[in-house]
Amino acid sequence: MSDRLLGVETEYAISAMAGREAADRQPIVRHLLEVAHSTLPHISDLSSSGMFLENAARLYLDCGLHVEYSTPECMNPWDAVRYVEAGHRTMLDLIGKLSAERLAEVETGCYRVNVDYSGAGSTWGCHESYLHRMEPELLPLHLIPHLVSRVVYTGAGGFDPFCRGLRFTLSPRAAHIERAISADSTSDRGIFHTKDEPLCAGHHRLHVLCGESLCSHAAMFVKFGATSLVVAMAEAGLSPGEAVQLASPLAALRLVAADAECAAPLKLKGPSRMTAIQIQRHYLNLAELHVGDAFMPLWAPVVCKLWRQVLDLVEAGPAAAAKVLDWPAKLALFVGHASSRGLDWERLAFWNDAVDRMTEAMALPPQGGKFPLEQAIGIETPIPDVVYEIEARMRRKGFQWDELRQILALRAEFLEIDMRFGQLGPRGLFAALDGAGVLDHRVSGVDNIEHAMKNPPNSGRAKLRGAVVKRVAGDREGAWCGDWQRIFSPKYRRSLDLSDPFAQTEVWNDEPVSGRAAALQ
């Protein structure tokens, strides 16, 4: 059987509140990293001001004041989920220590979220990496239909960040994806990211940036496991995506994200159409057909079994999947909150379209600020033709402007529910639901999270990196530092070679001092 290697990078949103006012996040985030440097066993990161931890993970500050935690290299989806959760708990511990130091000065929160509803246009990434040996330019053919259609179980749920109304979406981050294929990661993002930075010898690395931070273990497990199997099948020459090529991948992604019933037919190249679930079943059936082949990992049967169970739940409707997956769980919360506030959830679609129409007519930017409703519908409306058209539709359907006023007045409450769903700690809504036994998302074998916070996986170079970090973390005189492919001491001029991702024994070399390592002496 074939070994697979994968990793996950999670960007966290940090909030800082001084009373009821938002505080400057920059000093808070900087202080958080200082707390990490002073309390976590680590070595310095050669490529940034970050660090490699004793569990072989990497913690650092990314662009946009995004604190990022990269898991160690994992050889199975259980470890991938385990070390994502270890990152969450590490961040929560750091937030607790930071709060204790600052006392009541600022209340700090940490969130696994995907978009910013404030109007700033921010999005937080949850990037996946999959090691492979095939030519990278051949992968989009096979991966794009999978990445588009897997949203039915990998979507985090929430609201379209570019709609001034309340339009539910399976994947808020999908609104920030602008191309089928792109090399950019901070703008003009693609469904398929062409970045190929192997960070090791003899392999390529698929870097997926269209995914989202999830709370459900089952959703994460199938996301990592199914995508690993699709990569394995493509690498083995099975051409898994050839029969399900999408006519317009970006349009298909938009359609999948907007369809809570997961039943919208997606146009393929040629005369055929398939739903996202049918496309996923195409990949799953092929994986099951080859589950015992030599190129498949030992854990492929477990992934295929849960993959099928999850697709069956999604096909049965959002209510059937609400205890297992993120987006159906959020949808249930939103519908319940709407009902408690006297809103008919089904009527939101009309008002979202109306708000979009008025926003476009008034040439308003899609983000930021409150929708100027009274200006739009007042006696001196700047868009009389659009307003009259909307009012004609309202009369036919029995709608009143007061209903829209109520929706916009309550919009902030719904957005807060979305943000709090992924908040780390007891205030998080997912954590509260999980603690109350409402959910059924856990995967057998995803355990020992506390152990994973301080210990690396049991195999591969991550095991070696973690062991060395544990040994040398207290040796400040040696000024130990590293990157994914080596660990180095400028004093001792010794380097641990980690270029083989599957290395099992430590290989040390004498090495001259150069670059940033020399500056650390």
Per-residue pLDDT tens for 123-158?
Answer: 898 999 999 999 999 999 999 999 999 999 999 999
Cα–Cα distance, 215 to 84 (Å, whole number): 10
Alpha carbon distance 434, 214 (integer Å): 14
- What is the pLDDT, as a whole number, of residue 94? 96
Measured distance CA(424)–CA(215) in Å, rounded:
10
Cβ neighbours, 10 Å, residue 124: 23
Nearest to 295 by CA among 64, 133, 149: 133
Active site residue 3: no
Which residue out of 3, 24, 62, 402 is catalytically annotated?
62
User: Which residue ranges make up each domain of the chain?
Assistant: 1-111+447-521
Instruction: State the average pLDDT over residues 17-43.
Output: 89
- The three-state DSSP-derived secondary structure of 133-187 is CCCHHHHHHHHHHHHHHCHHHHCCCEECCCCCCCCEECCHHHHHEEEEEECCCCC
507 to 342, 379, 468, 485, 503: CA distances (angstroms): 66, 78, 12, 12, 9
Distance CA(318)–CA(328), nearest Å, equals 5
- Separation CA 206–CA 174 (nearest Å): 19
Backbone angles phi, psi at 317, to 5 degrees: 115, 160
CA dist., res. 502 & res. 156, Å (int): 32
Least confident of 28-32, 171-175, 473-477, 488-492: 473-477
DSSP, res 260: T
Mean pLDDT within 238-258? 98
What would the pLDDT profile of 351-401 be if each residue is shown by its tens digit? 999 999 999 999 888 766 678 888 899 888 999 999 999 999 999 999 999
What's the average model confidence in pLDDT over 261-286?
Answer: 97
Q: Is the pLDDT of residue 514 over 60?
A: no
What tokens does 468 get?
């060395």
What is the helix (H) or strand (E) element at residue 69, kind and residue range? strand 66-70
C-alpha–C-alpha distance, residues 35 and 447, integer Å: 27
